[in-house]
Structure 1
Amino acid sequence: MTTSLNKHHKNLSAIIHATTFSKYFIPFGNFILPLILWAANKNNHPFIDQNGKQALNFQISLLLYSLVIAILTIPFVLFFLPQIFHHGIFNLHTLNEFNGINFSTDLNYSKFGSLLWGLGIAGVAQLGLFIVNIVYTLLAIIRTSEGIDFKYPLTINFIK
């Protein structure tokens, strides 16, 4: 094992960070491809090992944050569902009258308030996570290709 950092180690570390973008083409590609590259090359140099751990920890942390946002959104959606049937937003209460189905879409947007707030806040938070992912992954690719250690923000160290 060599201790000097050469161009191959820098490029491999940058590629590990870049493969996290594969999630847009391959389901769970942001975990699978970096994990394969990191596991196959982690013993070659400590720089590759450190960058592989950073990339995987950041992706796992973002997944965890996304799940927390989704779980916090569930009460808003569950509160909204009874309003559809009880207040007759789509006039579903007329199904029991046996006089025909009246699917009028006379929508009162004030009834959608709790859903819109919850989904709006969750959407903005998810958009923020998306932007953080893109920006910091690009920064990681650039910094590691230059041979500079990069540490992602908001990262929980699952792999040590």
Structure 2
Amino acid sequence: MAAMDEKQARMWATVCHLAALAGYIVPMGHVFGPLVVWLLKRHDSPFVDDQGKEALNFQLSLTLYGLVAALLVFVLIGLPLLLALLVIQVVFVIIAAVKANEGQTYRYPMSIRFFK
């Protein structure tokens, strides 16, 4: 595949991050959105590859944290944790998208590195 210019790379990296918001429409869309964009565009740009993996790692981490929080609902702390995770997801995804659009790499806090 042909390498893309910097402007296109920034746009696709931004899309990788924002695709996670698909989870509010499609079940598991928060994982499949970044996964699909990353798989389609990772060979076109090192920046898109890096930010796609970063977006995917964060969404997989949030899924794991959400499962733990869901189990903790039975001891009454899970619901506030689930709500906090929703806010954290939206805020960090927006920050990451803005940084990617500016051409800066972004590392999510609390992210487990499943893909390196």
Q: Decide: shared fold, TM above 0.5.
A: yes
The TM-score, its normalising length taken from structure 2, stands at 0.92
The TM-score, its normalising length taken from structure 1, stands at 0.67
CA distance in 2, matches of 1:29, 1:70: 18
Unaligned runs of 5+ in 1: 77-117
Unaligned runs of 5+ in 2: none
**1:46-85 maps to which residues of 2 (within 5 A)?**
46-74=46-74, 76=75
**1:59-138 maps to which residues of 2 (within 5 A)?**
59-74=59-74, 76=75, 118=76, 121-138=77-94
Question: Is it true that 1:148 corresponds to 2:82 in the alignment?
Answer: no
Q: After TM superposition, what 4+ stretches of structure 1 lie above 4 angstroms from structure 2? A: none
Q: Secondary structure at the match of 2:110?
A: coil
The structure number with the bigger radius of gyration is: 1
CA distance in 1, matches of 2:5, 2:110: 27
Q: Out of 121-130 and 149-158, give the one that drifted further.
A: 121-130
Q: What is the root-mean-square deviation of aligned Cα atoms in Å?
A: 1.5
In percent, how many aligned pairs have the same letter?
33
Deviation of the 1:71 alpha carbon: 2.0
**1:2-81 maps to which residues of 2 (within 5 A)?**
2=3, 6-74=6-74, 76=75
Asked if the contact 2:71–2:78 (Cα under 8 Å) also holds between the matched residues in 1, the reply is no
Deviation of the 1:26 alpha carbon: 1.0
